[in-house]
Chains A and B, each alone.
Chain A
Amino acid sequence: MTFRATVRGTSYVFPDLAALLAKANEEKSGDQLAGVAAVSATERVAAKLALADVRLGDILATPLLDDAVTELILREHDAAAFADAGLASLTVGEFRELVLSPGFADAWSAAGLAGAITPEMAAAVAKLMSDKDLIVGAKPLRTVTRCRNTMGEAGVLGVRVQPNHPTDDVEGILLSALDGILYGCGDAVLGVNPVNESVARVGAVLHGLQSLIRQLSLPTQTCVLAHVTTQLAALAAGAPVDLLFQSIAGTEAANRSFGISLEMLAEGRDAVLAHHRDRSGEFVGDNVMYFETGQGSALSADAHGGLDQLTVEARAHGVARAYQPFLVNSVVGFIGPEYLADARQITRAGLEDHFIGKLLGLPMGIDVCYTNHVDADQNTNDDLLVLLVAAGCNFVMGVPGADDVMLSYQSTSYHDAAGMRDLFGLSATPEYTTWLHDRGLIRGGRLADPDPDVAAALLADLDRAVLDVPSPARALTSGR
């Protein structure tokens, strides 16, 4: 099927849906690198005009790739809800207006419309939206998930504490986590990116984090963001796994480059659910997966299948959705200027990824971040953070001083997260808020300094947690 549009007397022809979607995308250096981007501003608008007239039923009937991800998306599609809501005959332009109309969120929630919307439809409608549309469209769409606490309710801004360390030193990690906890952060997860992928080292960090939340009776979950096979090996060796993490992408080939298949994700989820049944009483729900995505990751593996990076990102969200995740976040500025060139492109991508995730029913957070070789700075982060919290983002990252000393990039800080909760009148998850209140770390709805006896008790708990790490594991991490 070809698509056409005329802008100011010039006609543009787009040979297929993949090309149309790519050229309708806002400007991204990654799409230019892939050779799929519009070559002029007018061609971009022509593609948007043509895309606005495409019916959702035609998008459903036009698979963009023949691969395992497409198969999963089609298998998971809720055809009954799609038919009942009359979505097939809607054009993408009409769908945009529907999503932005009052009452859509209620219908979306009541009729389970998220499952009727495919990633390609979500990507298509995002391409017709302004930044403000992406914010107001996402804001009322809430997805609540449960593991050891309850994420995603209205009025909640969750924060992942990201206490990374250049040598995975457990004491350094736990001190960093404690700093975040004092800012009310960590309700989404205490999640460490490990330097070392060995099963023993990953297990040591898992034990250390778990020991800390047990000592503190902290209602949150822990995670070490190693490869899924490493985490499962650590689990088999006795390490506690609250959330099973994996980076995922929107094509089968890109997932293969990450060393994963969809079957591995399903089997991993089953293994962690079984592990949680052995720890009965600790969990309030069975959302046990944590996924990270990000525009450009498929292209960087030369596995984008000729698709634009927003469409591939949406398909990654489609993968995530199939495994009922507790958390999903796009690491939006991590990948570098060849995919997102500057502050403007990072900001746009962050809003797109968040909106698409929400529309598809994901518990969507964003790692608002930048590397040192992109044209962006901490002000870029501040701006996107405010926009995303206005958009109802489920969670953001808390990195001490915004500076990740292991991954060498800048994200959002414990301070930033606390500032957003203040600015927008938001709080931590209900369980976490109670915990903070009980220790006087929130008074009158605001962050408060701990009393000396509370500070002493927290430090004593931390010291016990450090000593708790089984000694072989502790020996492994003491080499600093």
Chain B
Amino acid sequence: MTSMPEPTAEPMPEPMVEPTPEPLAGTGPTIPAGAGSAEPAVPATSPGQGGAFERRVRAVTPARLFLGRSGTSLRTADQLALRADHAAAQDAVHAALDLETGLLAPLGDRFGLFAVGSAAPDRATYLRRPDLGRSLSAEGRAEVARRCPRGADLQVVVGDGLSVAAVDAQVPALLPALLDAAREAGWSVGQVFAVRNARVGLLNEIGELLDPAASVLLIGERPGLVTAESLSAYLAWRPRPGHTDADRNLISNIHARGVDIPQAVARILALATAMRAANTSGVLVKEDPAGPSALTS
């Protein structure tokens, strides 16, 4: 996905404007070295420095800077790049979780991953009714109760959240690594399952239903234009109805240019260990650069 205008993009054609003695306002780029030249439009101090300036800008910020202009509008390539990035984000929000044929399919064979629905019956309702996404459908609750043993040390749940693309991109690698590492560390691991149209508050019902010690919800974050593939891991110790975000711990930005899979696994298990030591989760359990630790014991 294009997160910013491609520096090596083909130069735009000259604007279709006849030269006039007085340059027509707004038909060229804002700043020198602009439309039609091989160098992108930047506030070059002199022609020829555009490349160096552009490299400087790109090195310090992902923002869409010094794009040039046609009149006061974006140039065509930038206009369409913005639309393309937004389209990817929208598609990530509206896609459906696919355990049968997609990237998650191998997890069904290997871990018995199955999916149930939240109380939100469809995506449109889900987006407008966050309360429904915080509980399981009646059928979903029954199926989870039937298939998942109670009282595991660690229960992992996958939620689509606001980005199926994030689940597809991160979970196939993250889930096996996490479950293997948890078992190696001596945790008993519950039967993993997925929830469609899921919100973070689902952790409370899962805690009530399955009574795990630690619960981990891997859930797609609201997509940005930079990436639609960012996943969050929400952790809760013995979650119960009424618990809020203040009772949970969060590792966000799990994606290729953020927190990578090995880091995510290490941090999740370290947090779970700290929660166990503290016999609680949330604001009293902090991660620090040296690794998570409990403030209370």
Contacts and interface: CB of A to CB of B under 8 A. Distances in A.
Interface of A: 29, 32-33, 163-166, 169, 171-173, 175-176, 178-179, 182-183, 336-338, 341, 371-374, 377-378, 400-403, 405, 408-410, 413, 415-416, 418-419, 422, 443-444, 446-450, 452, 455-456, 458-459, 480
26 contacts: A33-B130, A33-B131, A165-B63, A175-B60, A175-B61, A372-B228, A373-B127, A377-B83, A377-B90, A400-B64, A400-B65, A401-B64, A401-B67, A405-B64, A408-B223, A408-B224, A410-B225, A415-B69, A415-B73, A415-B74, A419-B72, A419-B73, A446-B26, A447-B25, A450-B43, A480-B60
Contact of B128 (A29, A377, A400, A422): A29
Given A455-B44, A456-B45, A337 B86 contact: no
A264 B226 CA distance: 37
Given A378-B86, A403-B64, A422 B43 contact: no
B85 interface: yes
Interface stretch (B28-36, B107-115, B189-197): B28-36
A2 B43 CA distance: 64
Contacts of B226: 405, 408
B250 interface: no
A418 B72 contact: yes
Interface in B107-142: 127-131
B65 A175 contact: yes
Chain B interface residue count: which class? Answer: 35 or more
A338 B130 contact: yes
B62 A166 contact: yes
Interface string B47-81: 10000010011001111111101011110001000
B198 interface: no
B45 A459 contact: yes
B78 A401 contact: yes
Contact of A372 (B47, B74, B78, B223): B223
Q: Which 8 A-B pairs have the closest CB atoms?
A: A401-B64, A408-B224, A172-B61, A419-B72, A446-B25, A372-B89, A456-B45, A172-B60
A338 B128 contact: yes
Contact of A456 (B46, B60, B228): B46
Contacts of A378: 82-83, 86
A402 B73 CA distance: 12
Given A175-B60, A415-B73, 17 more contacts: A163-B63, A165-B61, A172-B61, A175-B61, A338-B127, A372-B90, A373-B222, A374-B127, A403-B64, A403-B82, A405-B64, A447-B72, A452-B44, A452-B45, A455-B32, A455-B45, A456-B45
A167 to B, nearest CB: 9
B127 A182 contact: no
Contacts of A447: 25-26, 30, 72
Contacts of B32: 449-450, 452, 455
A2 B31 CA distance: 63
B294 interface: no
Given A29-B128, A337-B128, A373-B127, A449 B61 contact: no
Contact of B65 (A176, A410, A419): A176
A176 B63 contact: yes
Chain B interface, >50% SS class: loop
B179 interface: no
Contacts of A452: 32, 44-47
B144 interface: no
B60 A179 contact: no
B72 A415 contact: yes
Nearest to A442: B25
Given A373-B93, A444-B25, A401 B63 contact: yes
A236 B29 CA distance: 43
B162 interface: yes
A450 B31 contact: yes
Interface in B8-50: 25-26, 28-32, 34, 43-47
A371 B61 contact: no
A410 B131 contact: no
A179 B66 contact: yes
A373 B67 CA distance: 26
Contacts of A165: 61, 63
